A and B are shown apart, each in its own frame.
Chain A
Amino acid sequence: MAVTHATSGADDPVAVVRLEGIEKSFFGVPVLRGVDLLLHAGEVHALVGENGAGKSTLLKVLAGVHRPDSGRIVVRDAEVSFATPRDAQAAGIAIIHQEFTLLEHRTVAENVFLGREPVRRGQVDRRAMETQTRRLLDWLGEDGIEPGTEVARLSVARKQVVEIVKALSADAKVLAMDEPTAALADNEVELLYGLVRRLRDRGIAILYVSHRMREVFDLSSRITVLKDGAFVTCVPTADLDTDQVVRHMVGRPLDALYPERTSVPGAVRIALRGAGNERVRNLTFDVRAGEIVGLAGLQGSGRSAIARAIWGVEPFTTGTVELDGVPTRVTGPRTAVRKGIGYVTEDRKGEGLALRQSVRDNTLLVRRAACRGAVARQAADLTRLLGSVGVVARGPHQEVRYLSGGNQQKVVLGKWLAVRPRVLIVDEPTRGVDVGAKQTLYRLLRDLADDGMAILMISSELPELIGMSDRILVMHEGALAGELPAGADEEAVMALATGHRPGAVA
């Protein structure tokens, strides 16, 4: 703000870190092209941009992992230059990565003071360590965590707290959080919100990197947008809405993020009749050819368990599954594939792709692994297949680990399309995928449905689920809580998902 009055002096933002004109290239490929960033004490500052926009590189510059080719880093009015991550730490900057850096089999306090253990008479002073950890936890209002607990026994959300406490114990004034909710269950996100706000209130500057617009708008006071390594804008959150942010990120309006519902449902492709197992019970529903049926529910409500049961990883033990009207017993992924079921897992890197293998080998994996003779040997029209899912790669021989999240997900889809399944289950199809690629994936799913595929789509992103689905099934504690028509509102879905009676909310 240009003018500040004396009366508001106490609220004057204090600049903790200022990045100016940061440029960074890797072997001639510019990744950051003159990025500015100003962080104030006690603010949550969102950093957004598509995959490849340079967010991670900027974080690494801030953390001292990469040295910028040009530009200035100013910490509390002094220009600094970080040779190593340790220098950045010493300047009070800490990064909370998606993957935690905790030793599972040590206690909370031991992790917090790892490498900096207080020493008394030549021995590690456990008591001092635990007292100081306790003090920091109290300061954050996290009294549910004991300093002496082994980290392995903590939930993911609490591990994240420990990670933050570890940074704070090293006197961090700036916390950069990279997709902090990616690993969290839905009900843990609220806890993180609370934590972030308490950190902010205690004067910590938070750089919040996220793909999820809702979090950005819930938490941040200002938003910096990057696109293709360049600084686009930095504006107060209150002055923007989601569409505007997305437009800044993508550089073009995304008027039709979700394709029109054009398909006419055909015959029933898959029908569950009273199906259940240890984790879900008494499921009865159909998915028809040409239909995208959304499956909503909180984490742990059994959404993914349905997918894994249909697909034979943890099969149903009661009830029946009918495929095209024929009762079928699916005993494992191999039978599922052969019966024409495809499953895009939510764990892309752990279950979806062999990361060191090429685009080509991953795309042909299902066909080669599960199909016998004729189908497997059928001349693979790879180019057409990859073209139809829109994979952007250097070539079919590029290893998939070098692709962006969106392109990786397209390869996963391609892998299933290569065997032309009749029923496709997609679990969190756009997780970790940037907005542009999301749009492509949505279009692709709709086209597949139009071609007569029956699609069951699981997602914890309600806007996407509502935007895509022809019908929405809502799970609550392992059972179906109800069904909603296309275009239902988020409140109605949440009401069912959290166990409210439908009538009670509307």
Chain B
Amino acid sequence: MRARPRLADGTGPVLVVLLILLVGLAFAGPAYAEPSGYLALLKRAAPLVVLAVGQYFVIVSGGFDLSVGSLVTAEVVVAARLVNGDDANTWWVIALLLGCGILVGLVNGLITTKLLVPSFIVTLGMLLVLDGAVFLWSGGAPRGALSPSFRVLGRGSADVPGLGQLPWSVIVLLVVLAAAVWFMRSGTGRTLLAVGDNENVVRLAGGRVDRLRLLAFVLSALLASVAAILLAGFAGVSAQVGEGLEFRAITAVVLGGVLLGGGRGSVVAAAAGALSLEALFSLLNLLGVSGALESAVQGVIIIAAVAYAARGAGLQRVLRLRRPVPDTA
């Protein structure tokens, strides 16, 4: 497939926002005088970017996935207990986590598509179920510990020829992003986007709407598992590790200009939204703003981004970013 030299719709604004934030960081903190500062930011942002990519698939096909935060917590807690500090357990536990992710995605997707429960409700229910299950199983305090080899993925680095030391999480991020971009350019990806726009059209064109939406939920949960593995290594084991991540991921996707309700938006923009969010938090931190304000900031962002999208057509016309479209009679 020929590479497209143009940015997908709505990618522009978020890239501008990201650039401003990155420049701001350079002025705000000495850590960002060197590339290593930005690399650390990328490493910190990796789990959120991966989650945002997953959330993007669901949102763009017309749904929501609120269960990813709890899924992350559940998987981290489970991982700690099963690995129990033993390197021998690392790989089968990782495989198990990914498998569990797929299973949760299947349940979310099947209930949404077959029982016709809105995804907002299904995944909200899943959030509560996973929360409760984790509490019941761990008794409120996670037990066990991760093995060193498990934690490498979240905090370690690999020697990449030509690039030097690159954190594993950044490598995972790049691989996920590249795969997501490739997928969204494939026929299946384009069709997924069309499902979010008008699922009737896809169904009547012979497409399997239910399967596509199911796929979106599975991808979201699978990527949440990947994020859980990264976070577990990076942040360590706690029963709060995934708290609020679902909303953070949704904020990131919305910041990336992806239309709530589906049908429009690019996965690169969603990832850029996640990176912007993380950069913003770092900037606020450097400026001495209390971390307690993070959720308030996030709230403002999500409202502002959706408002911008809703008013966007008008704004863009005013700014002449888009060529005018005369009314047709």
Interface residues of A (CB under 8 A from B): 26-29, 31, 49-58, 60, 226, 311, 313, 332-334, 336-338, 343, 345, 350-357, 361-362, 364-371, 376-377, 394, 397, 399, 402, 404-405, 415
A128 to chain B, nearest CB (A): 39
Interface residues of B (CB under 8 A from A): 6, 9, 187-188, 190-191, 193-194, 197-198, 200-208, 259, 263-264, 317, 320, 323-329
Q: Give the CA-CA distance A355 to B264 in the complex, in Å.
A: 10
B191 lies within 8 A of A333 (CB): no
Chain B residue numbers with a CB within 8 Å of A345 are 204
A353 lies within 8 A of B201 (CB): yes
Task: Select which of A56, A357, A362 is within 8 A of B327 by beta carbon.
Answer: A56
A356 lies within 8 A of B324 (CB): no
Task: Select which of A56, A226, A338, A367 is within 8 A of B187 by beta carbon.
Answer: A367
Q: Given that A49-B329, A226-B329, A365-B191 are known contacts, is A354 also in contact with B197, CB under 8 Å in the complex? A: yes
A353 lies within 8 A of B198 (CB): yes
B327 lies within 8 A of A351 (CB): no
Task: Select which of A49, A311, A352 is within 8 A of B201 by beta carbon.
Answer: A352
A356 lies within 8 A of B191 (CB): no
Task: Select which of B197, B320, B329 is within 8 A of A357 by beta carbon.
Answer: B197
Secondary structure type dominating chain B contacts: loop
Chain A residue numbers with a CB within 8 Å of B191 are 365, 368-369
Q: Given that A56-B329, A364-B187, A377-B187 are known contacts, is A313 also in contact with B204, CB under 8 Å in the complex? A: yes
Closest 5 CB pairs of A and B: A370-B206, A369-B207, A368-B187, A55-B329, A337-B206
Chain A residue numbers with a CB within 8 Å of B187 are 364, 367-369, 376-377
A422 to chain B, nearest CB (A): 15
B302 to chain A, nearest CB (A): 21
Q: Given that A333-B206, A334-B206, A415-B205 are known contacts, is A357 also in contact with B194, CB under 8 Å in the complex? A: yes
Chain A residue numbers with a CB within 8 Å of B207 are 334, 365, 368-370
B200 lies within 8 A of A351 (CB): yes
Q: Give the CA-CA distance A31 to B326 in the complex, in Å.
A: 7
Name the residue of chain B whose CB is nearest to the CB of A55. B329
B328 lies within 8 A of A52 (CB): yes
Chain B residue numbers with a CB within 8 Å of A357 are 190, 193-194, 197, 263
A27 to chain B, nearest CB (A): 4
B326 lies within 8 A of A364 (CB): no
- In the complex, besides A350-B198, A356-B263, A361-B190, 5 extra interface pairs with C-beta distance below 8 angstroms are A337-B205, A357-B193, A365-B191, A369-B202, A369-B208
Q: Give the CA-CA distance A480 to B188 in the complex, in Å.
A: 41
Q: Give the CA-CA distance A24 to B205 in the complex, in Å.
A: 40
B329 lies within 8 A of A52 (CB): yes
B85 to chain A, nearest CB (A): 47
Name the residue of chain A whose CB is nearest to the CB of B194. A354
Task: Select which of A51, A334, A343 is within 8 A of B328 by beta carbon.
Answer: A51
Chain B residue numbers with a CB within 8 Å of A355 are 197-198
Q: Give the CA-CA distance A167 to B188 in the complex, in Å.
A: 48
B201 lies within 8 A of A27 (CB): no
A354 lies within 8 A of B201 (CB): yes
A368 lies within 8 A of B190 (CB): yes
B329 lies within 8 A of A54 (CB): yes
Chain A residue numbers with a CB within 8 Å of B205 are 333, 337, 365-366, 369-370, 415
